[in-house]
Chains A and B, each alone.
Chain A
Amino acid sequence: MKLRQLFPLLFIALLARGTMAAEQPVSQSIILASTTSVENSGLLAHILPAFTKETGITVHVLAQGTGQALETAARDDADLVLVHDLEAEQKFIAAGDGIDRRQIAWNDFIVVGPHSDPAHIAGTHDAVAALKAIAGAQAPFVSRGDKSGTDALEHRLWRVAGIDPAKAGGGSWYRDIGGGMGAALNAAQAMNAYTISDRGTWLSFGNKGGLTVLVDGDPSLLNRYDVILLNPAKHLVPKQTLATRFVQWLVSPEGQEAIGAYKVDGQQLFHPSAAAPR
């Protein structure tokens, strides 16, 4: 019987596993549940090495979207969150799950769509009017549909516009894809559709195809990123000291400078805003 031949394989696997474990000192790592945009845009990969070098703390990033990130933290599966949906954040804090919300950066949301622009919204600066025009033209529109911060913003805009997009005009122009920002941009690109994106993900996105920025500069498209710690009154918080250290670094001059220094093709993706009034 050659069952024995399996053992070297098992041994190699276990050995590799051992070395893998040795690379990751668990005690000095924290889990950050974050919105996808700060990870997909490359921001965290850009700023985290400096933090790790200074403190020896490794930050493990779960890129999940705001809704899922808050849920993960509420289940005690993350040590802090980095999200961008004020309403959901306030609920999270009101439920006793979060404390010490700090704004660390901002950028803006944009409406992107095909060059052909069937709804004629290019160059305008009113997001609600743009959505009304898109619905009026029944032009294809891709919705995240994943309870992320961007999805929440989109639904707020539809509410202000007084339109229920899933029902308006039969709704076949409104396509809820249930995916992340990148998936939505890929879908919009493939379907010649409009969608709403955060500027960070858009600028670093590699498959823009025939899509272009059509609407920006509306104050209602402001996109604020906040970090929130878990509330020790309700959660285990085994890594609270390390998590607090990370928050302190993010709002410190070094952290803020690192955020502002991140550029793609010469364009700044995130504006540091720890000092901004809340």
Chain B
Amino acid sequence: MGDVWAALGTAEFAHIVGLSLTVSLSATAIAAVIGLPSGAALAICRFPGRRLLILLANAFLGLPPVVVGLALYLMLSRSGPLGALALLFTPSAMIIAQALLAAPIITALTHRAIQDPWEEYGGALRVDGATRSRSIRMLLAIARSSVLTAVLAGFGRTISEVGAVLIVGGNIASYTRIMTTAIVLKTSEGELGLALGIGLVLIGISIAVSASAFVLWER
């Protein structure tokens, strides 16, 4: 067990933890910026194709990470349509992959969270003459607890994900290696104790982030 503790104290491991958080928090932030307004808009606006979009957002809750990873890999590959961006095997590619996975979750759950308050307060907001964007902000505020759950569900998806980031990140040491891909690697090296140790750190950090967000938000 001494070896495990020593390995978890290295600068290399600190980079792995830092990158995990950076990638997942960035991806969650991007997904929230897209998903919160989209989810709310789906609840309060009426337009053609709305039902289809709601259906898609819910259907994509189960988007397989490994498929998203593969599709993104083919897009970002040098010989793919976005190859000129040179994003493959970089942290940016990992953020894009995770944002794609988290956005439908945040959108679908926000849509659900806004539906009830919209039925309750929608009439009043309309009488007030509130604009659509103002209504969206008001409703997100009213439903803030459920909205937080939506964002945390998105974060949970990103921090625990391994299939997509392994493909588009490449698990490059000190560059694109994060906690989940390090666990896969250490397991394959037969370093099961260390793999489990990293796993416990991952769980701890995931809980810590969610708990602090919860405390700050509900304050």
Q: State whether B189 touches A62 (Cβ < 8 A).
A: no
Closest to A78 in B: B89
Taking a contact as CB atoms under 8 Å apart, the answer to whether A186 and B188 are in contact is yes
Query: Interface centre among A14, A16, A36, A208, by most B CB within 10 Å?
Result: A16
Bound-state CA distance A30–B117 (Å) is 53
A24-B175, A76-B79, A206-B189 known; A31-B89 Cβ under 8 A: yes
CB–CB B189/A13 < 8 A = no
User: Smallest Cβ distance from A93 to chain B, in angstroms?
Assistant: 19
When A2-B217, A20-B19 are in contact, do A62 and B89 touch as well, CB less than 8 Å? yes
User: B29 contacts which of A9, A62, A189 (Cβ < 8 Å)?
Assistant: A9
Residue of A nearest to B151 (CB): A6
Cα–Cα distance between A221 and B28 once the two chains are bound (Å): 49
B164 at the interface (CB under 8 A from A): no
Interface stretch (choices B44-52, B55-63, B119-127, B137-145): B137-145
Contact of B91 among A17, A58, A77, A185 (CB under 8 A): A17
Chain A 29-70 residues near chain B, CB threshold 8 A: 31, 36, 40, 45, 58, 60-63
**B-side contacts of A26, CB under 8 Å:** 86
Complex: how many Å from CA A75 to CA B22? 29
- Closest chain A CB from B150 CB (angstroms): 12
User: Is A205 an interface residue, CB under 8 A from the partner?
Assistant: yes
Taking a contact as CB atoms closer than 8 A, the residue among B26, B151, B170, B171 that contacts A13 in the complex is: B26
Known A-B contacts A5-B217, A17-B91; A183 and B188 likewise in contact (beta carbons under 8 Å) = yes
- How many interface residues does B have (CB within 8 Å)? 40
| Contacting pair B21 A16 (CB below 8 A) | yes
Min Cβ gap B27→A in Å is 9
What residue of chain B has the Cβ atom nearest to residue A3's Cβ? B140
**A75 pairs with B29, CB closer than 8 A:** no
Chain A-chain B contacts (Cβ-Cβ < 8 Å), number: 103
On whether the beta carbons of B137 and A3 are closer than 8 Å, the reply is: yes
Contact present for B25 and A12 (CB under 8 Å): yes
Neighbouring B residues of A189 by C-beta, 8 Å: 190
Give the residue name and chain of the B residue nearest to A205 (CB).
Answer: B190
B interface SS class: helix
Q: Does A98 contact B (CB under 8 A)?
A: no
Q: Contact: A45 with B173, CB < 8 Å?
A: yes
Residues of B within 8 A of A186 (CB): 187-188, 190
Cβ contact within 8 Å between B192 and A207: yes
Alpha-carbon distance between A186 and B188 when the two chains are bound, in angstroms: 7
List, in ascending order, chain B residues with CB within 8 A of A94's CB.
none
B88-A77 in contact (CB<8A)? yes
Among residues of A, the one whose C-beta sits closest to the C-beta of B140 is: A1
Q: Is the CB of B190 within 8 A of A3?
A: no
> Which residues B170-215 have CB closer than 8 A to chain A?
170-173, 175-176, 185, 187-192
A276 proximal to B (CB < 8 A): no
Other A-B pairs, 9, CB within 8 Å; known A60-B170, A236-B78: A1-B141, A3-B137, A9-B29, A17-B22, A40-B188, A61-B172, A62-B170, A76-B78, A185-B190
20 A-B pairs within 8 Å (CB atoms) are namely: A1-B141, A3-B140, A5-B216, A6-B29, A6-B151, A10-B29, A12-B25, A14-B26, A16-B25, A17-B95, A20-B19, A58-B175, A62-B172, A63-B185, A77-B88, A204-B189, A205-B190, A206-B189, A206-B190, A207-B191
